[in-house]
Chain A
């Protein structure tokens, strides 16, 4: 094992051994999926149709990935564990890779778990599901980047507020998961359209429908956000590593 994989493995263990992480990361989105499907079964109008709902819940669930990564880095900072590692010969790029790499399979597993539960709730499993999972990977990278950035800048209490409360709410309300954004319209819809949450959900919904032409117009917004967020996270982390205030 290389030093990077040793550290990446520790980061994965640290997250997976926290039962609260698992409960919220995988359990909460699944509970929501079950609950909203149960509501749909008892109302006469189409509110939470499974093919429409699942991509939204998957994106919402990714906000917990930000929380995990942000909390891990922030706690490593608070406990001076990161300080200890900064005195090792690892480079800044090694740290960023080691923090980000274990989170990507976790995010994909979380998305996949949503689709598996959705299958038992009536979603047809076909190649479109696989495409939807792939289409959600840039969104997963974006949420990982947000976590890295928040963890580098804030302490663990601030991260839990920002990622645990603010980000989960933003990704829930501004993603069009619970309601059609055009029903609210106005400034709300305009804000949602420039943020990456609704485009991430729309891209995955388009993939699930097999509406290929609708994927990229939405996905590129997510990709731009993901790339910019990751670059900013790397810059901020590097500055932290050099002992600079950010």
Chain B
């Protein structure tokens, strides 16, 4: 498998505070990689650097052959982000939101309309296509948010805590939608939910205090720490002072 993302000592500092400390990570094309960590672990900052939203203080990352520091525009054309918040245009309809993003990424009117229709079907949003985004439930808004990220046919998709604040049913629906994408594009997902990471990911990276503590499958990480379940493994790794793997 080809490498989709390769980070090289990627570091971000805010003043004297180190948000991400010398991150070295390799993610394969088509992989669903989860970044897990407690609040302030550096997950969102990592995603922001990889999606060219903030400049790294030092180090670099190469996404499908392009460097985030040398050619951010080329990198941006290959990826899309579904941020932590729903990030939709409130007074625009569901369809208009989708067409807007397609248009911003350069699709003409006809193509935008066609792509929007496809996303409406894929994410079961057809019934609410004419509704304003602000009137949708939290779960529907999240689905729209991911559809907006996918309408540009990204090769790499960043999902920042996509199910945060959703009820169990809405979360399960969204998981099903994410499962369908597995293998087709590279997905980097951050989450606080262990069950989500275990259920969706090919591999999991655990971050704490800006450092990547361990990487592996859920089973590998559980075995590595000698824990009986993944949650215990996470606690061990997130509180461990040294990098394990």
Contacts and interface: CB of A to CB of B under 8 A. Distances in A.
B25 interface: no
B210 interface: no
Contact of A7 (B85, B100, B108): B100
A109 to B, nearest CB: 19
A84 B87 contact: yes
Interface stretch (A9-17, A124-132, A170-178, A228-236): A9-17
Contacts of A18: 91
B88 A79 contact: yes
A242 B56 CA distance: 10
Contact of B76 (A10, A81, A83, A88): A88
A80 B103 contact: no
Interface string A1-28: 1010011001001100110000000000
A79 B104 contact: no
Contact of B105 (A3, A79, A243, A245): A3
A13 B96 CA distance: 10
B235 interface: no
A87 B81 contact: yes
B157 to A, nearest CB: 11
Given A87-B76, A89-B105, A13 B91 contact: yes
B87 A81 contact: yes
Interface in B112-161: 132, 145, 148-149, 152, 158
Q: How large is the interface on B (under 10, 10 to 19, 20 to 34, 35 or more residues)?
A: 35 or more
A90 B77 CA distance: 10
Interface in A206-246: 242-243, 245
A239 B158 CA distance: 23
A68 B79 CA distance: 31
B178 interface: no
Contact of B100 (A6, A78, A79, A80): A6
Contacts, number: 83
B90 A243 contact: no
Given A79-B87, A84-B148, A243 B48 contact: yes
B92 A83 contact: no
B84 interface: yes
A13 B99 CA distance: 14
B214 interface: no
A246 B218 CA distance: 40
A3 B86 contact: no
Contact of A243 (B54, B76, B83): B54
B105 A14 contact: no
A79 B145 CA distance: 11
A6 B112 CA distance: 11
A22 to B, nearest CB: 12
Interface in A162-205: none
B101 to A, nearest CB: 8
B90 A79 contact: yes
A78 B84 CA distance: 11
B89 A10 contact: yes
Nearest to B12: A243
B190 interface: no
Contacts of B11: none
B184 interface: no
B50 to A, nearest CB: 10
Contact of B103 (A3, A14, A242): A3
A84 B100 CA distance: 12
Contacts of B77: 89
Contact of B91 (A17, A90, A243): A17
B87 A83 contact: yes
Nearest to B160: A80
A13 B104 contact: no
A6 B73 CA distance: 19
19 contacts: A6-B103, A7-B100, A10-B96, A13-B91, A13-B96, A79-B88, A79-B90, A80-B87, A81-B87, A83-B53, A84-B87, A84-B101, A84-B148, A84-B149, A88-B101, A88-B104, A88-B105, A88-B152, A243-B55
Interface of B: 14, 48, 51-55, 73, 76-77, 79-92, 96, 100-101, 103-106, 108-109, 132, 145, 148-149, 152, 158
Q: 8 smallest A-B Cβ distances: which pairs?
A: A243-B54, A6-B103, A80-B83, A80-B85, A80-B87, A17-B91, A84-B87, A87-B81
Given A80-B85, A80-B86, A243-B48, 11 more contacts: A6-B103, A7-B104, A10-B89, A10-B96, A79-B85, A81-B89, A84-B82, A87-B76, A88-B76, A88-B80, A242-B54
